[in-house]
Structures are given as structure tokens and as C-alpha cells.
Structure 1
Amino acid sequence: MSQTILYARVSTADQNIDHQKTQAEAAGFVIDAVIADHGVSGVSTKLADRPEGKRLFDKLRRGDVLVVRWVDRLGRDYQDVTDTIRAFMRQGVVVRTVINGMTFDGATTDPMQEAVRDALIAFMAATAQAQAEATKEAQKAGIAAAKSNPRKYLGRKPSYDEVTLDAVVRMLSSGKGTSEIARENGMTRQAVLRIKANPAAAQEALERWS
């Protein structure tokens, strides 16, 4: 019995898998199962290398329908997306998108229809990669601009104040252990280790937030 599987990927806490499922259902899809990767970058990680992406290849069978919000869910770049869609079509899986309602079916045998289908796959994959690269460049530019103005680029807010920092530095210099220092100052071991690794950076962080 064939099934319809939604594959979703979210790379940040701001994105929501339930929202992607709701969008698919609003577009008329009846979803039998959801396979999702959390906290995975679509730009740097191939679908076959993602934890749930691997399971997707094993789960899909001939006659199944794979639903994705857009083709960029299926790979990290143009080559990966096109290879992935064609691999699923060879398995007899139909790939459908929520956005624009596109359908990619390997059962097509007419040469003209195949040519149009393959050209469309290539165009959509190239568009997805271009959008991803543009987003990365915009993020880099935004970070660079913010760093040029320290008041805008504060970084992570320190979990300690000036008095606590001084106490930690003194205790570190006296040879006390990380766990003991963290316990006495109400801090995490990670915070103490960061101070130990770079006291100057810890002081700079306090000054940025002061």
C-alpha cells in the first residue's frame, strides 16, 4: 500500500516542522507520516548525510509520494538536489512540492515530457541553490556590518558581572578546580572554562554589555 510522506528540515529554533505539515495539508496533501531533521543546515549537509534523510531513502517504496515544501529541502546544492530527485524517481517514488504544486514522476516515458521535466528539475534546483547562497551572503554582510559597530554587535551576554569575573580569575590563579569555582560562584563549568581559556575576551564581553 502506497503512502504519502512529508520530509521536513529545520535548521534553527525559529523554524517549525508543524508549520510545514500544516502548509502541506492546506495544499491538499493527506500526510501519512512525517520524517524530519532538526538543527540541520541545508546548505552544508547532503540529504543522504542527514540522520533522518538516510531513513527517508530506506523508508520510501515504489508508488509512494514524497512531499516537500520546496526542492531545497532535498539537498545542499544544485547537484545534490538534482541527484536526489532523480534517485527517488528511479525508485518509482513521485516527488511533489507544496510551493507551486510541482510533480516529478519517473513513470514518464514520452521523450518530450522527460526533457521538460528534467529541465524543470534543473531550473528549480539552480534557483534553490542561488537563494541559499544569497541568504548566506546577506547574513555574512549583516554580521560584518554589525561587528563594525560594537554597540550593535554585542555577542553572547555574559552570565557573570565584574565582581564575579574578578573572583573567578583570582580563584583560577590560586589553582582551584573548575567545578569548585563554578559551584562557589553560581556559574556553569563551561562559563568558567571560557574565562580560563581567555580572560581578556571575558573582560571585553563585559565591557560591550556595560
Structure 2
Amino acid sequence: MTTILYARVSTADQTIGHQRTQAEAAGFKIDQVFSDDGVSGVSTTLRERPEGKRLYDALRSGDTLVVRWVDRLGRNYVDVTEAIREFISRGIIIRTVINNMTFDGATKDPIQMAVRDALIGFMAATAQAQHEATKAAQRAGIDGAKAKAEKVYRGRKPSYSAEKLTMVTDMLALGSAGTTDIASATGLSRQTVLRIKEDPAAAAGLLAAWSKA
């Protein structure tokens, strides 16, 4: 009977070694380690991963499969529940480092089996939900950063409307009024009128950018 640790990491801030250290610190005596590095637990099923495939071939009845938590097997509800149930049907014991949970086929009592299967389903669903919540939070963070960047790029919100911009440019084109007179007629500051006068196209572009916000 062999005790096998399956470890999976998908990001640079995780390590295979840390998962083994955690397992040994929890009292597990690991005989073999199968690990997939940089592999998604969502888009790639356990059987599709290089070491995951080897894991299916290596496990025998009576062996113990150790994982830090079920999310190491994957974050896809269907994949994780099917994998665990297949291992159990083959006489393999599954144990988690976190919470020291044990899943096996020892019990034949229908109620205990139902409770076990419900717990497996709950843990697998939680693993997928955690991934989706993290992804949503990341997406929100990215969108927030983009919005902030776009706001900075647009610059300060213009104090003039499209109508007033047209008034300023028309009066400037006629040449019949000075900056002070145009400011008084439009209700804009002299600085705003001067900026429009210096670059009418940029003034129009800024107004257009903010109108899309």
C-alpha cells in the first residue's frame, strides 16, 4: 500500500515543495509525489494533465491519495467529483491535508454514503466557486484600473459644453471679440477660452472623450 501525494500549482507564488512540506507536517508519510506545475485546474481535467494521467495509472486498491485540498485535483465540479468517485470505486482512499478529511468506499450504509457524496459535491462546488469569485474580483480590478487610466488619459472634465465650444470657435473665427469678451459672453473663464483658442481640435477631442464616459 502506497501513499501518494498529488500536488498542482498554477501560479508563480505557489510551489510543489510547499504542498509536500504541509503534508509531512500534518503527519503523512509520502512514498511518491505526482505534480503538475503551471497547469490550470479549470480548463484542464485531471486525466488530461501529464502527471494526473500517470496518477490514474499508478494508484492501486488500498493506496492512499493525499491532496492539500480537493481544489488541487481541480476546480471543475464535474471533473473533481467524477475523479474522486472513480478512485473510491477502485478502493483508493483519499485524504486531505486541510481539515484531515477522508473519503473511501469503506462504508456501505446508504445514509453514510449519501452524506459522503454530498460532502464531496459540496467541496468540489466550493473549489469551482472560489475560482469564479477570484476571477470576477480580478476582472473587476482590471476594469477599475482601466477606467482610472482612461480618466487620467482624458484629463480633467471640460467646463464647456458642445454648444459653448461652438460659440467660442465661431467668435474666434469672426475675430470680432477678444478673449475677455468671449469669456463674458459664454460664461467660461479666460483660461478656458485661451486653451480652446490655442488648440480647438484638442478641445473638441476632450469633450468627445468625456461624452463617451
Aligned partner of residue 34 in structure 2, secondary structure: strand
Match of 1:124 in 2: 123
Amino acid aligned to 2:85: R
C-alpha separation in 2, matches of 1:9 and 1:150: 35
Structure 1 gaps of 5+ residues are 152-210
- Is there any run of 5+ residues in structure 2 with no aligned partner, and where? 151-213
- Aligned-pair CA distance for 1:51: 1.0
Query: Normalization by structure 1: what TM-score?
Result: 0.69
Identity, % of aligned positions: 72
Q: Which amino acid aligns with 1:27?
A: A
Shift of 1:129: 1.1
Residues 45 and 76, structure 1, Cα contact 8 Å, conserved in 2: no
Aligned to 2:43: 44
Asked whether the 8 Å contact 1:96–1:103 carries over to 2, the reply is yes
> In the alignment, residue 7 of structure 1 is paired with which amino acid?
Y
User: Aligned residue for 1:77?
Assistant: 76
Q: How far is the alpha carbon of 1:5 from its aligned partner?
A: 0.5
Report the count of equivalent residues: 150
Aligned residue in 1 for 2:29: 30
Alpha-carbon displacement from aligned partner over 1:31-65 (angstroms, at most 9, x marks no partner): 11110001101122111111111110001000000
Please show how residues 177-196 of structure 1 align to structure 2 within 5 Å: none
SS in 1 for 2:118: helix
Deviations 1:123-149 (A, max 9, x none): 111111111110111111112222223
Distance 1:48 1:75 in 2: 10
Residue 7 of structure 2 is matched in structure 1 by 8
The amino acid across from 1:66 in the alignment is L
Q: 1:91, CA displacement in angstroms? A: 1.1
Matched to 1:149, the amino acid is K
Q: How many Å separate the matches in 1 of 2:27 and 2:115?
A: 25
Letter in 1 for 2:40: S
Secondary structure of the 1:13 match is: coil
The residue number in structure 1 matching 2:101 is 102
The CA deviation at 1:75 is 2.4
Paired residue for 1:18? 17
What CA distance in whole angstroms lies between the structure 2 residues aligned with 1:137 and 1:17? 26
> In the TM superposition, what are the counterparts of 1:53-92 in structure 2 within 5 Å?
53-92=52-91
Cα deviation code 1:62-121 (max 9, x no counterpart): 000000011111123111111010011111110111111110001221222111111111
How much is the aligned-residue C-alpha RMSD, in angstroms? 1.3
8 Å CA contact 1:75–1:84 kept in 2: the answer is no
Q: TM-score, normalised by structure 2?
A: 0.68
Distance 1:117 1:42 in 2: 23
Equivalent in the alignment of 1:115: 114
Say whether the 8 Å CA contact 2:75–2:124 is kept in structure 1.
Answer: no
Quick one: which amino acid aligns to residue 80 of structure 1? D
**Aligned letter for 1:42?**
G
